[in-house]
Amino acid sequence: MNPHALAFPEKFLWGASTAAHQVEGNNVGSDFWQAENDGTWSLPDRSGDACDSYHRWAEDLDIVQSLGLNAYRFSIEWARVVPTPGHPSLAVLQHYRRIIEGCGQRGLTPVVTLHHFTSPAWLRDQGGWTSKEAIAHFTEYVRAVLPILDGVPWVCTINEPNMLAWTTARRADRAASAPSFVPPDPEMTAALTRAHTQARELLASVPGVRSGWTVANQNVQDHGAGADRTAEMSYLIDDQYLDVAKGDDFVGVQAYSRLRAGEQGVIAPGPADRRTMNGWEYYPRALEDAVRHTAARLGGSTPLLVTENGIATGDDDERIEYTGEALTGLSRAMSDGIDVRGYLHWSLLDNFEWGSWEPTFGLVAVDRTTFRRTVKPSARWLGRLARGHADPRAGRR
């Protein structure tokens, strides 16, 4: 039996991911939409119609199915479900229920995220996640969603809480230079932890649902900071969030690059470093490193699901190269006994990357005028790999 077959079992999930605000379009009730349009965060672009996936979701599912993938990760938008506190929209809930049913009709396993960075604008007006009523509002939202989750085996409560808390801290410290290290906001971290814990308890009432949150693994490595400082940085940005996941049904691993810890803080990629379109270091080993680190931190007791991994590039051959190297590393980790249940590529579509349309992560290009989807060679390559007709080490061959 070849190493590919050993590392990726028959029931392994192969899929692609999206997030509501990035693909649906006109998410007018969200805090991010509000910030895009009032200039609060000085973002270069607006999401606007995005990829119009709120209306074209069936076409997106058809593409995933046609590629030979068997899973699709998407998020439910809190701002749409609860446009006004205390009044969830039954129509919107039925919309997301149809997407879940659409996955089942196409033989796709739905992986549902309840919070993918965006919150209702009304919550922002009340003070955001650290406001007095935030946790109660979030649990109200989760309760509203519970009835439509029947048949959903994987539910991510909160996407990348470490990035939410880190971004909050960086926005509050605008004077910080790019290479410095600003610890994630502790109040935000505490609030998100409480929200996750309460959501997990509610989700336990739905038969068959496994819940967890996803962590944006930064792969902190010592490049002159020293072992103690590196461990401290790793704890602040990664490990404290992994510790919360102990006892969860799974944890979502999300990895793209690494964070090099130097004497003065973070060492940014230099002119000699190969970089991706959004300026990150080209480092496909990030996935293997993140999976191994996560498994070690959790003691090997919690199943892992790769909920995001990919590259911002305008060169599709480079996307295949990066993904092939990443999957080869994942294969090595799994061969060593690490329990990984699936790989969901980021992202299915070229979409709105949180303030900019420039970075293209997608397996599928989207014309922003006609919304026409064009499947890239990398998507077909990943589909062949998922069907066992390719080896990740072989690239396009």
Buried b (16+ CB within 10 A) or exposed e, 113-140: bbbbbbbbbbbbeeebbeeeebbebbbe
Set 24, 36, 160, 325: catalytic member? 160
Our answer to whether residue 160 is catalytic in this structure is: yes
Which residues face 71 on adjacent strands?
Answer: 15, 109
Question: What residues act catalytically?
Answer: 160
